[in-house]
Amino acid sequence: MKNSPEIKYAIGKGIAIRGSDIDTDQIIPARYLKAITFDGLGEFAFRDLRIGSKGELLDHPFNDEEYQNASILVVNSNFGCGSSREHAPQALMRWGIKAIIGHSFAEIFSGNCLALGVPVVEMDAVQIEKLQEWIELNPGEEIHIDIVGEEIEYNLERINVKIPESHRKALVEGIWDTTALLKSNPEEVKQLAGEIPYIK
Question: What is the CATH classification number for the domain harbouring 166?
Answer: 3.20.19.10
User: Residue 121: pLDDT above 60?
Assistant: yes
User: Residue 88: pLDDT above 60?
Assistant: yes
pLDDT (0 to 100) of residue 192: 53
Distances from the Cα of 88 to the Cα of 34, 41, 80, 110, 162, angstroms: 13, 9, 8, 11, 22
Among candidates 77, 106, 76, 112, which has minimal Cα distance to 92? 112
Q: Note whether residue 187 is domain-resident.
A: yes
Task: Tell me the H-state helices in the chain.
Answer: 24-27, 47-50, 87-95, 107-115, 125-137, 165-173, 178-184, 186-194
**What domain count does the chain have?**
1
Burial (CB < 10 A; 0-12, 13-18, 19+), residue 160, is exposed
User: Residue 183: pLDDT above 60?
Assistant: no
pLDDT (0 to 100) of residue 181: 46
User: Residue 194: pLDDT above 80?
Assistant: no
Q: Note whether residue 23 is domain-resident.
A: yes
User: Residue 127: pLDDT above 60?
Assistant: yes
**Is 134 within 8 Å of 144 (Cβ atoms)?**
no
Q: Note whether residue 4 is domain-resident.
A: no
Q: Note whether residue 181 is domain-resident.
A: yes
Q: Note whether residue 27 is domain-resident.
A: yes
Among candidates 171, 162, 131, which has minimal Cα distance to 14? 131
pLDDT (0 to 100) of residue 198: 58
pLDDT confidence bin for 190, thresholds 50/70/90? low
Residues 6+ apart with CB under 8 A from 117: 4, 5, 7, 171, 176, 177
Distances from the Cα of 157 to the Cα of 115, 151, 170, 181, angstroms: 30, 10, 27, 37
Q: Note whether residue 142 is domain-resident.
A: yes
Mean pLDDT, residues 164-172 taken together: 96
pLDDT (0 to 100) of residue 4: 84
pLDDT confidence bin for 35, thresholds 50/70/90? low
Mean pLDDT, residues 143-163 taken together: 97
Cα 106 to chain center, whole Å?
12
pLDDT (0 to 100) of residue 6: 95
Mean pLDDT, residues 102-116 taken together: 96
Give the integer Cα–Cα distance in Å for 38 and 186.
25
- Tell me the Ramachandran region of residue 104: left when phi exceeds 0, alpha when psi lies from -120 to 50, beta otherwise: beta
Give the integer Cα–Cα distance in Å for 198 and 147.
39
Q: Note whether residue 2 is domain-resident.
A: no
pLDDT confidence bin for 33, thresholds 50/70/90? confident
Q: Note whether residue 160 is domain-resident.
A: yes
Chain-wide mean pLDDT for the chain?
90
- Could you tell me which residue, 191 or 118, shows the higher pLDDT? 118
User: Residue 189: pLDDT above 50?
Assistant: no
Bridge partners, residue 85, by sequence: none
**Is 98 within 8 Å of 10 (Cβ atoms)?**
yes
Residue 167, domain extent: 9-199
